[in-house]
Amino acid sequence: MTLEEEVKQFAVQQGADLVGIASVADINRYAPPGHRPDDILTGAKSVITFSKTRLVKGAWYSSDYRTPYYNNVWGILPGIATAVAQFIESEYGYYSVYQIPDIGLNPSLSLKLCAEMAGLGTRSMAAGIILNPKVGMLSIGACITTMPLKADGPMTEPVCPHPSCVKLWEKRHTTPCLDACHQCLSGEIAEGRIKWMRYDRRICATRAMTEGPSALLRALREAANEPDAGMRRSILLGSFTQRVFEMVAASTYYAQCFECTRNCPVCIEARTIRVKNTVQATVDAPKEVDANG
């Protein structure tokens, strides 16, 4: 087994669905200074990038809008990244970090770029999320290391647009994702490929990131400026602020509302459960009549 295979196998044992390796040199061809892996870890050579589906499939089929949020497995990505970083340091003796410093809308490293360079998926018209043909929308984690490893490199064929989106574009000049969010998304398909696309993350953030740490700061500011004691109490102890506190305590926040992925054919395919085992198949299959009665 190669070193690359050993590292990937370890990440899968920790729970990753997909694992790839991006070279820092490849990432730095696109990332501006100040947003590169070696700005975070001096001498970084590789970024072990992985994806773990956090949202169970059933959550998409709830009529209660809150269900997907409550069925998100938070904390699993940093857990895998921590284990991989410690594994590389203890087994191979290379410095590694697993927590990417994040500053609001200006993060110090694009995990999407890492995933592209590690061959896990390609950029989509739906909020620029990375799509993989098997797992759909990627939830991405990464471990930066000084260990030189052979990189996987980007996928050669784009996952987006799906053939059905190309057909829809030819008929109606739209796609399911563009249709879902005219405010944040725009783009064009030509000859079966994305010709151009725009994702306005500043509009998206104000619509979708309403319950994280910034919401807590806003609630505190509003409460501090509120002269009426009853209103102050309502702001601080109401159900909205309680939810915000819960999320901050659990280190969670939502980057997107995901409505642009709801009708994406790649995502629908990925979140459809296929019959996997013979027990289920026996239950679902029509009963056969024994020839002897």
Q: Which residue in the set 151, 175, 209, 244 belongs to the binding site for ligand SF4 (CB under 6 A)?
A: 175
The reply on whether position 130 binds ligand SF4 by CB under 6 A is: no
Hey, which residues between 100 and 129 contact ligand SF4 (CB under 6 A)? 124-127
Helices 239-249 + 229-237 axis angle, to 10: 40
Q: Least distance in Å: CB of 134 to ligand SF4?
A: 14
The binder of ligand SF4 chosen from 167, 207, 221, 233 (CB under 6 A): 207
CA 110/CA 113 separation, integer angstroms: 5
- 4 token code pair: 């690359």
User: Which stretch, 60-68, 155-163, 243-251, 271-279, contacts ligand SF4 (CB under 6 A)?
Assistant: 155-163
Per CB under 6 A, the list member of 83, 180, 244, 247 interacting with ligand SF4 is 180
- Identify whether the C-beta of residue 199 lies closer than 8 Å to the C-beta of residue 127: yes
Q: How far is CA 249 from the centre of its chain?
A: 21
Q: Does 176 bind ligand SF4 (CB under 6 A)?
A: yes
51 near ligand SF4, rule: CB under 6 A = no
The 3-state DSSP class for residue 139 equals coil
Q: Where are the beta strands (DSSP E) in 91-225?
A: 96-97, 122-123, 130-132, 136-137, 140-145, 185-190, 193-199
Segment lying near ligand SF4 (by CB under 6 A), choices 98-106, 112-120, 230-238, 251-259: 251-259
- Whole-number Å distance between alpha carbons of 259 and 280: 31
Strands 46-51 and 140-145: what pairing? Answer: antiparallel
260-279: which residues touch ligand SF4 (CB under 6 A)? 260, 264-266
Query: What is the rounded CA–CA span in Å between residue 91 and residue 129?
Result: 33
Site for ligand SF4 contains 55 (CB under 6 A): no
User: Is there binding between residue 184 and ligand SF4 (CB under 6 A)?
Assistant: yes
Radius of gyration of the chain, Cα coordinates, nearest whole angstrom: 22
Nearer to ligand SF4, 108 or 186 (CB): 186
Choose between 53 and 124: whose C-beta lies nearer to ligand SF4. Answer: 124
Q: Which residues bind ligand SF4 (CB under 6 A)?
A: 124-127, 160-162, 165, 175-177, 180-181, 184-185, 204, 207-208, 256-260, 264-266
